[in-house]
Structure 1
Amino acid sequence: MDAELIAMQLFSGIALGAILIMVALGLSIIFGMLGVVNFAHGALFMVGAYAGLWVASRTGSFWWGLLVAPIAIGLFGILIERVLIRPLYGRSVDDPLLLTFGLGYVLVEAVRIVFGSDGIPFQTPPELSGVADLGIGFFPVYRLFVVGVVAIVLVLLWLGLEKTKFGLIVRAGAKDPQIMRVLGVDIAKVWLLVFGLGVGLTALGGVLAAPMRNVNPEMGALVLAEAFVVTVIGGMGSLLGAVVAGLLVGVAISMTALVAPEMATIVMFALMAAVLLVRPQGLFGKKSRA
C-alpha cells in the first residue's frame, strides 16, 4: 500500500463527504430552525436525482438539470411545509417525524410508478469526464467538480446566514422564535423559506451524486442513514458540525474500504457511538438540542 493509493482514497473520501455534507446541511438547517426531524430527506434526495435526470434528458444538458432540479424540489419542499408540516407545529415532536417518515415511502412508491424500479444511469457530462493529474496520482474530474460545487455552496450559505438580514433573522429565530414574533417578524414565512432551502440543498446533493451511482428509487435510504449519522456526530442543528462530520465520515468510510471493505458501512456507526459516549450532543451541538 503506497502513498499514492492512500492519497487517492483520501480524495475519494472527501468527495463522498461532500455529498453527505449537502444532505446533512439540509437536515441541520430544518432541525435547527423548525425543530423538525425530516425522515423524508433521503426520499427528497432521490427525487432530486430523478428530477435532474429528467431535466437533463429533456434538454440534453446536465447543467440545466443541475440548476433546475434543486430549485424545483426546493419549491416542492415549500409546498410540503405549508400543507403538511405547518399544521403540526406546537404538537408532539413525534407527529412531524411520523408524517415525514410516511411521506418518504409515498415519494419512493410514486417514483417507482413513474420511472420503474430499475436503476437508470446518469451519464457524466463530457466536459467533466476523464481524470486530472494531481501530482500524486490521477483523480476523476467529476469528483473534483463535486467538491468544488459543495465548497462554493458552503461559502454562499455562510455569507447568507452571517452577512445578511435574512440570515440574522434565521439565526435569531432558531434561538427564540417567540421574541421574533414580538418584534414583528412573520416567523411562519421564515420557516417556509428555511424548509425549502433545506430540501433544495438535499436535492442538489442528489443531482451531484447521480453520475457517481445509478439513479434508483432506493438510493435515498442509505444516504438518509449516513446523513443522520453525520448530523448526530456533528450535533443536531449545527451547520459547522455537519461540515466537519461529513468530511470525517466520508474519509472514514473511504479509508476503511481500502483495508477492510466489509467494515466500510459499519465504521460510521462505530464512529457515531464513540462520539456520543464522549459528547452526547455531538461535536458542535448544544445540550438543549441533544
Structure 2
Amino acid sequence: MSELTLGGFPLDLLALQVVTGVALGAIYVLVGIGLSLIFGLMNVVNFAHGAFFMMGAYVGVFLYGYTGSFWLSLVAAPLAMGLLGLAVERVLVRPLYGRGIDDPLLLTFGLSYVMIEAVRIAFGLTGLPFGAPPELRGAVDLGIGYFPLYRLFLIVFAGIVVGALWLFIERTSFGLVIRAGARDPQIVQVLGIRISRVWLAIFGLGCALAGLAGILAAPLQGVTPEMGIPVLAEAFVVTVVGGMGSLAGAVLAGLIVGIVVAMTSLIAPDMTKMAIFALMALVLLVRPRGLLGRAGALG
C-alpha cells in the first residue's frame, strides 16, 4: 500500500516537522516572553535582548566546560543574565525613563554591540561547539518516526518554565503588583509601592529568560558572537504577533512562528525569513494589537 502524502510530502515527515517546529517554538517562547515583558510593560525597546541570549549561551558553555554539569550551567546562565540585566536597568536604562522611547532604544542598541565585541575579545571570533549532554542524546520513537531526545526535553522544559512563570504572575503578591503596574503605574505608586522596583524586576526577569533560551539553543546551533542577531528579529515578531505584554500571546505566537519556520524550511527553505514577517504583517492587518494583546494589560 502506498504511503499517504500531502503536497508530495509523506504525512509522517510533515508531522515530525510540526514537532520540530514546536521544539524551535519553545526557544522563541522563552525569548519572546522576556522581550514582551520588557517591551509591553515598560515601554522599553530592548535591542540588547539578543545579546543577552548570546551571552547566556556563552556563560552556559563556559560553566559546562568548567564544571562538567549541564544542569548547573542551565541554572547559572539565566541567573547571571538576570543579575546583569538588573545592573543594566539600574545604571543605564533607569536614567532614561521619561525621555521618550528613542533614548532607551539607542542605548540598548549600542549596548548590544558592546556585549558582542566583549565576547569576541574574550572567546574569539569563530565560536564554540556545544552538544547536548550525554543523558539527552539519542532519539525517541514517537510512532511517526524517531525524534531527537534533546528537542523533546526542550518542549517539556519550556512548558515547565512557562507554567512556573504563569503561577508567579497570577498567584503571588508580587505578580499582582506586576499586573497592576502594567495597567496603571500611577495607582501602584499611590498605594506606596515603588514602581521602579517593579520595572527593575521585570527587566531582570526578561534578561534571565533570554539567557535561559540561549543556553537551551546552544546544542541546536552552536555558540557564536552573532547568534543573537537573528533571534532578536524573531523575538520582535513573536512579541508583535502575540501582543505587547501578553504572556499567553507570547506563548501562542512563539509556537506558531516555530512551526511556520519549520514547515517553510521544509517546503521552501529560501522563503523562511520572509514567511515569519509575512505572518506578522497578516496578523497586524487583522488584529493590530496582536493575537492576545490588550492595551496596558498582561494577558
Structure-1-length-normalised TM-score: 0.97
- Aligned-pair identity in percent equals 61
Partner Cα distance (1:69, 1:254) in 2 = 27
Structure 1 unmatched runs, 5+: none
Which residue matches 1:143? 151
- Partners of 2:85 and 2:272 lie apart in 1 by 32
Q: Name the counterpart of 2:66.
A: 58
The C-alpha deviation readout for 1:160-204, integer Å capped at 9, x for no partner, is 000110000000011111111110112211111111111000100
Q: What aligned pairs does 1:210-225 form with structure 2 within 5 A after superposition?
A: 210-225=218-233
Amino acid at match of 1:127: E
Instruction: Tell me the distance in 1 between the aligned counterparts of 2:240 and 2:199.
Output: 22
Residues 44-123 of structure 1 mapped to structure 2, 5 A cutoff = 44-123=52-131
How far has the Cα of 1:287 moved from its partner? 5.3
Instruction: Give the corresponding residue for 2:6.
Output: none
2:278 pairs with 1:281: no
* CA shift for structure 1 position 31: 1.9
Cα distance in 2 between the residues matched to 1:271 and 1:28 = 18
How many Å separate the matches in 2 of 1:277 and 1:32?
A: 19
Match status 1:174 vs 2:182 = yes
In the TM superposition, what are the counterparts of 1:17-32 in structure 2 within 5 Å? Answer: 17-32=25-40
2:56–2:215 CA contact under 8 A, matched in 1: yes
Note if contact 2:182-2:296 (Cα within 8 Å) is conserved in structure 1: no
Moved more, 216-225 or 279-288: 279-288
1:106-133 deviation digits (Å, cap 9, x = unpaired): 1001100100110211121000000001
1:13 is matched with which residue?
Answer: 21
Are the aligned partners of 2:41 and 2:296 in contact in 1 as well (CA < 8 Å)? Answer: no
Deviations 1:73-109 (A, max 9, x none): 1001000000001101111111101101110011001
Cα distance in 1, alignment partners of residues 264 and 131 from structure 2:
28
> Is 1:162 the equivalent of 2:170?
yes
C-alpha displacement of 1:4? 1.1
Please name the residue that 1:248 is paired with.
256
Distance 1:16 1:108 in 2: 23
Q: SS at 2:89's partner residue?
A: helix
The one-letter amino acid of 1:60's match is G
Tell me the amino acid that sits aligned with residue 133 of structure 1. Answer: D
- Runs of 4 or more consecutive aligned structure 1 residues displaced over 2 Å after TM superposition: 286-289
Distance of 2:108 and 2:245 partners within structure 1: 18
Q: 1:164 to 1:287 in 2, by over 3 A?
A: closer
2:184/2:296 contact within 8 Å kept = no
CA distance in 2 between counterparts of 1:54 and 1:39 reads 24
Q: Partner of 2:249: helix, strand, or coil?
A: helix
Q: What's the secondary structure of 1:185's corresponding residue?
A: coil
In structure 2, distance between residues paired with 1:278 and 1:32: 20
In structure 2, list runs of 5 or more residues that go unmatched: 1-8
- Cα deviation 1:190-237 (Å, max 9, x = unaligned): 111111111000100000000111100000000000010111111121
- Give the SS at the match of 1:132: strand
Alpha-carbon offset, residue 33 of structure 1: 2.4
Give 1:286 shift.
Answer: 2.9
**Alpha-carbon distance between aligned partners in 2 of 1:156 and 1:130, rounded to the nearest angstrom:** 28
How many angstroms apart in 1 are the aligned matches of 2:156 and 2:43?
30
State the 1:139 CA deviation: 0.3
Matched, 1:36 2:61: no
Provide the TM-score with structure 2 as the length reference: 0.95
